[in-house]
Amino acid sequence: MKITYTTHALARMKERGISRCEVESTLSNPIRTIPAQNGRIESQGWIERGGKRQLLRVLTQGDVVVLVITVMATSKFEKYGASG
C-alpha cells in the first residue's frame, strides 16, 4: 500500500505531535475501521502520550494509494466507539 499525505494531514500531525510511524502503524494494523463521510475510511489505533493511552483516528481515502486526509488523538474512547 502506498501512503500519501495531504498538506492538512501533515500540518495536523506536526501540531499534534503524531509521527508518520504512528499513522502507518495504525493503517497497517488498526484495532477497528469504520466508514466515514464521502466514501472515506476511519482507521483507529492506540498511541501513548505522557503515560496515557489515546485513540489515534486516521481518516483516509482510497485503497491502493491511500491518501491520509487528517489525523487526531483523543482520550474520549467511548465517543468514538472504542474501549480503553
**Residue 41: which pLDDT band, with cuts at 50, 70 and 90?**
very high
What is the model's pLDDT at position 69? 86
Q: Each residue of 59-81: pLDDT tens digit?
A: 999 877 788 888 888 888 777 77
- Collapsed DSSP state (helix, strand, coil) of residue 74: strand
Q: What is the CA radius of gyration of the chain?
A: 12
What is the model's pLDDT at position 9? 94
What domains, with CATH codes, occur in the chain? Answer: 2-80 (3.30.2310)
* Residues found in the chain: 84
- How large is the average pLDDT for residues 27-33? 94
What is the model's pLDDT at position 84? 62
